[in-house]
Chains A and B, each alone.
Chain A
Amino acid sequence: MDQLLKTLGIVLNATLMYTPPLLFAALGSCCSEKSGVINIGIEGMMTIGAFTGAAVGYFSGDPWLAFLCAGLAGMVFALIHGFACITCKADQTISGTAINFLASGIAVYVCRLLFAGNTETHPVPNKLPRIFNGLFEWCNANLGGKWGEAFAKNGFLDNVFNTYASAYIAFILVLVIWFIFYKTRFGLRLRAVGEHPQAADTLGVNVSLVRYICVALSGFLAGLGGASITLATVSVYRPSIVIGQGFIAIAAVIFGKFKPQGAMLGCILFGFCNGLKVVVGSSGSIPVNIISMIPYVVTIIALILFVGKAHVPAANGKPYIKSK
């Protein structure tokens, strides 16, 4: 029993390691897509966030400042995307693809300039804090140790809840975004703009402004997602660090039918499968490459069996052109 609990603890620990970056990015993607702007550029915004986080973290030593700067860097690229898609009515897929190229190019380029030609930054001195570090050990020591293994260092609770602050922020943000979407006036406008911009416009909603805010927010969140890799999971930026996670986040959003809570389930599914990979992979009985396929195969199977057709916001991908 204890052994099982411990294994589960390790799986969940890994889950909570893999999930937050995806979750930040997925929430970002959700904001943008809900307002009717496809954001393929999430991947690039994550990349620039990951790099900015690592670079600012290294030079300033302050992980929170780095985290914030990463979000802002993502936002800058999101605003370029917004300018192209909203003001210039550009094709959103094309613009997003361009952002991906541009962001990964600029990240590595600046990295080479700042770190003497290397494509990898130096490790950040301070990672984001683990909020409950030592809490469970303290409980164990001060409550007579009769609560069993679960409270020990690297026991179940320590493994599960003693994760980096970014994980907690990500899950709290799910609630916040859900609240904004479904319980506030701005959320109602946002959804209206994504479903039927003409109707929203007639009622006096500033379609462009709402979309700009949403796209900027999506870049900010994607930037945080990137930084939660370089400031928590690992402590350096290298070009291969984000690869594909932005697209996985987009996949999670489609999987979750463009709802923040659904996207969260998608991200957790991914994170959990990655966690399983760590445990099953260490046993060595199944080739690691086969195990690595699990998250992707499971997603497709889940999509076919349970999710069905996604409801895409009706105006998603269509620039809004005001009629005269």
Chain B
Amino acid sequence: MEEKKTDMAVQTKAEAAGPGEKQEGWFSMDMDSGSRNEAFARTVAAVFASRLDPTLEELEDIRTAVSEAVTNAVIHGYGNGTGRIHMEACIRGKEFVIQIQDDGAGIPDVEKAMEPMYTTDTTGERSGMGFSFMEAFMDRVEVRSRPGEGTTVLMTKRIGR
């Protein structure tokens, strides 16, 4: 995995593609922060990523990583309350790029939040493995967040090695 950067190095919008960089399409969508959308979001992302002709395992990786990011937005961003979750993705060559963004509570200490098993949950029901799963299943995970300013998670994965 590449080094994490605090600033987003990659724009996921199709327009951000440099000269000669082949774009294979993109999508951009908003959804409410209801927990039902965890399944909706990972399904949409997987259907889109299937254009890259991924293996079953690669597709499951994407499904799981997207589920983790959206679940974080639902639980931690909005505290299971109402809000907007934005998801956009593009295909750049053989790379799948996805960004999940909320306008929720934000994370005071991103580095701490990304530590394995770290959780702010007190019920004992949360494993604290969300970011670890994203990092295990994607090639690159970047998190940008500030308290009160929401959280943006950018993930990329190269399909077909």
**A and B physically associate:** no
* Residue positions of B touching A, CB distance < 8 A: none
* Residue positions of A touching B, CB distance < 8 A: none
